[in-house]
Structure 1
Amino acid sequence: MKAEAWMFVICTIFLVLVTPTYWFITAASEHGGDWTGTSALVMCTLLTAMVAAYLGFHANRMDPRPEDRKDGEIVDGAGELGFFPPYSWWPLWCALTLGVIVYAVAMMAYWLMIIGAVLGVLALCGWIFEYYRGEHAH
């Protein structure tokens, strides 16, 4: 985790240098500066600093992984890596029902929003419980 923490530290340093430069360059323009871009860069800086602090905090308190050790071998990382889900159609149905709800709000068709919400709950339940039955149950 130390390598990941250092990557975020480097990104934070980069953003700390770029953000004031961006603000200074846009402040010199005739419109008086781009506050949207500057605030977005400030928030990105704070986000990368937060992730770097989190990863650095946990890297010091956990045993090093095989890839973090200098004497680590490839065979040290052998074994089960975790569960990787197979294909699923449920995200498509969730996205489509969200599209129906957004369309209903834009058109002020509240009856369609209710239909989309009911179908969305069904699609979300199907996505949550898809590994409890069927071919991929465990």
Structure 2
Amino acid sequence: MKLKTLTDKEKLFARLYVDNMFSNETRTNTDIAIAAGYAKESAHQRAYELTTYKLKPHVYMHIEELKEDFRIRNQVTKEKHMARLNEIHDMAKQKGQLHTAMNAEVYRGKAAGLYVERKLIANKTIEDLSEEQLEEKLQKIEDDFGVRRVKDETE
């Protein structure tokens, strides 16, 4: 099926619609239609039509293409991540924000695999403790809770 050519208003609506999807400030589809140049009185209806495949397939498909383009452009790759950290490092350094610049540099190193983080988790069980350590722990419990052990007569 050959799709109809988009008008300038339709192109603008599609761009604003996709920009709105991925921005922090959210506008209604009606507001987007008004911003694209549609009359205020019919903007709600135009927005509905422009986002409905059955009514305006050429606009709907253009919106989908713009969304996919956005996803591809903003996909996080190691190279883009490293470049962005370098950019942050340089901006921070220019502003004299050495702590931020240093952090960006450390994160670049981590992303490049220059650092290896190791964590040692030691879980000792009661069987791993010496008799002396056990006595210390029992004494601490007695002191903390005001409890006294009853000594065995055979000791």
TM-score range, shorter chain: under 0.3
| TM-score, length basis structure 2 | 0.24
Structure possessing the higher relative contact order (Cα contacts under 8 Å, 6 or more residues apart) = 1
- Bigger share in helix: 1
Greater C-alpha Rg = 2
With the length of structure 1 as denominator, give the TM-score of the two structures. 0.26
